[in-house]
Structure 1
Amino acid sequence: MTWHLGRWAAFDTETTGVDVEADRIVTAAVYGLGGGQPAEPHDWFVDPGIEIPEDAARIHGITTEEAQTKGEPAKGAVDHIADVLTEYATTGATVVGHNVVYDLTLLDRELRRYGLATLDERLGDWPMHVVDTRVLDKHADTFRKRPSKTQGPQQLITLAQVYDLPWDDDNAHGASYDAVIAARVAHRIGTLAHMARADWPERIRQVRRPRYGDFNGLTLAELHAAQIEWAAEQAAGLQAHFRKSDPNAVVDGAWPLRPWVEPSTEGAPA
């Protein structure tokens, strides 16, 4: 069976911000999809324990008051999210998401915050294979331009448009919606990778130097390992671009999880 036809655990979060070291989960979704099995939705609505900034609330539509009123306590929620992901991984499902390194890293930091076992500790020697649509798409279509000044070339909405998937602005930036769309994008990319170029849709045939064929015939372990290299290359290229205007710019290329660094105690009270 090719890598895009097996069972997936589509994963996404909506959060209080974009800093994986400090921000918190507000909603999360893990959807079991594909593999000839029924869909299995798992959704969480979380009280993050801190104020939700207005900028974040404008994106996902959840206010601090609503999260405090309707959300479950964060410690129990993040523990359950990790348990569900672990169960899928240990039964052979692949974790799939868009820029999923962000979601996995944020979950890791939440688990550490509450003194809970990390995903690595729960998995033991069992591998968790990950498919990241942002990494795959960037590798396959490296030279895509921004569709507009406000829409990036690898945003999820852009990928939905490129791969001819419907997009609902009212539901976008909801964890469950974004998780499912990412899974559908990954399926389209996998289908293209195993399709003759002559059968590609016209918009894909027009791609400059496409590399969908690099995904053809890989095992999940091979695809996972390749994404580690591709993510590092992509980050290095972005960092070089940023350093044209900011010599100190740094783009972390670790994937699918940014390494944990113990907080420094230097200068802390004795």
Structure 2
Amino acid sequence: MHPEPLPLFQRPEWASVVGVFDLETTGVDVARDRIVTAHVGVIDADGHVVDARDWLADPGVAIPAGATAIHGITTAHARAHGRPASDVVTEVVDALAGLFAAGLPVVAYNAPYDFSLLRHEALRHGVPALADPGPIIDPLVVDKRYDRYRRGKRTLSVVAAHYAVRLDGAHEASADAVAAGRVAQAIADRYAAWLPPTLDELHTRQIGWARSQAESLTEYFVRIGRLDPDDVVDGRWPVR
């Protein structure tokens, strides 16, 4: 059973204005794959975009057809129109650091993917990486915590639909980032009575929630034969 929403409780103050962040990349390996597009922005209490920056990078490697099929960026397009990857990585790190310095949380759906890949890109290009980034809100982790037994996939598009958040142009960095921010706000509205009152506490709790969720997923994958008994799902959050 998950808690029923209590609409009389007000959204926590920390969910009113939030930063948003998303990457589209050459693949799913955070240590090896590269940034293709990035978005860092801010949405207000009504979910309206009040600040936005977008980047297109030349990743310096070929973009696999499978990745192009998802986000639509070809190797030729990235090489012709993308900026040097080192410049993009520097500016994305600086933009996120600016949001954190301003006291804004940054929403990232499945945060360990984006923040881990960004960290590896920073190391690759000799850019100072974000040190202990936070506070971060990960709607995937929070949704699983408060609605653990809901059936179905937990992709951004599915979860956005569940919370009646419109998502146009899925797998486009700005669209995904903004939708994730609005999902975080919708979750904050629905579960206001149970959410931690401060950003620091929410950030800390997500570390434990992500670890527990990974342990449960590991048990399930071992049970169905998808993982060997000695393997584990990495539950580190928000950077792996």
Scaled by the length of structure 2, what TM-score is found?
0.89
- Aligned to 1:26, the other structure's residue is in SS state strand
Cα distance, 1:4 vs. partner? Answer: 1.1
Give 1:166's aligned residue: 166
Cα distance, 1:250 vs. partner? Answer: 2.1
Are the counterparts in 2 of residues 242 and 249 from structure 1 also a CA contact under 8 Å? no
Q: Deviations over 1:205-224 (max 9, x none)?
A: xxxxxxxx431x52000000
Return the alpha-carbon distance in structure 1 between the equivalents of residues 53 and 201 of structure 2: 28
Q: Deviations over 1:32-62 (max 9, x none)?
A: 1226997111100011000101111100011
Give 2:238's aligned residue: 256
Counterpart pick for 2:144 among 138, 143, 164: 138
Cα distance, 1:249 vs. partner? Answer: 3.1
Give 1:190's aligned residue: 188
Are the counterparts in 1 of residues 134 and 203 from structure 2 also a CA contact under 8 Å? no
Return the alpha-carbon distance in structure 1 between the equivalents of residues 211 and 14 of structure 2: 22
Return the alpha-carbon distance in structure 2 between the equivalents of residues 128 and 242 of structure 1: 30
- Aligned to 1:214, the other structure's residue is in SS state coil
Return the alpha-carbon distance in structure 1 between the equivalents of residues 150 and 231 of structure 2: 23
Larger Rg: 1
Deviating beyond 4 angstroms after TM superposition, the runs of 4 or more aligned structure 1 residues are: 35-38
Q: CA RMSD in A?
A: 1.6
1:230 aligns with 2:209: yes
Q: Deviations over 1:185-232 (max 9, x none)?
A: 0000001122xxxxxxxxxxxxxxxxxx431x5200000000000000
Give 1:178's aligned residue: 176
Return the alpha-carbon distance in structure 2 between the equivalents of residues 42 and 32 of structure 1: 9
Are the counterparts in 1 of residues 20 and 180 from structure 2 also a CA contact under 8 Å? yes
Return the alpha-carbon distance in structure 2 between the equivalents of residues 52 and 80 of structure 1: 21
Counterpart pick for 1:70 among 81, 84, 99: 81
Cα distance change on mapping 1:236 and 1:108 into 2, 3 Å: same
- Structure 1: give runs of 5+ residues left out of the alignment: 147-151, 195-212, 259-270
One-letter amino acid of the counterpart of residue 193, structure 1: Y
Cα distance change on mapping 1:23 and 1:79 into 2, 3 Å: same
One-letter amino acid of the counterpart of residue 73, structure 2: I
Return the alpha-carbon distance in structure 1 between the equivalents of residues 15 and 40 of structure 2: 17
Q: Deviations over 1:137-180 (max 9, x none)?
A: 1111111112xxxxx2x111111111012233xx1100000000
Cα distance change on mapping 1:176 and 1:132 into 2, 3 Å: same
Cα distance change on mapping 1:176 and 1:73 into 2, 3 Å: same
Give 1:202's aligned residue: none
Scaled by the length of structure 1, what TM-score is found?
0.80
- Aligned to 1:188, the other structure's residue is in SS state helix
Are the counterparts in 1 of residues 146 and 191 from structure 2 also a CA contact under 8 Å? no
Query: Share of identical aligned residues, percent?
Result: 41
1:214 aligns with 2:194: yes
Return the alpha-carbon distance in structure 1 between the equivalents of residues 134 and 167 of structure 2: 29
- Aligned to 2:176, the other structure's residue is in SS state helix
Superposition pairs of residues 1-270 of structure 1, within 5 angstroms: 2-5=13-16, 7-34=17-44, 39-120=50-131, 128-146=134-152, 152=153, 154-168=154-168, 171-194=169-192, 213-215=193-195, 217-244=196-223, 245=225, 246-247=227-228, 248-258=230-240
One-letter amino acid of the counterpart of residue 13, structure 1: L
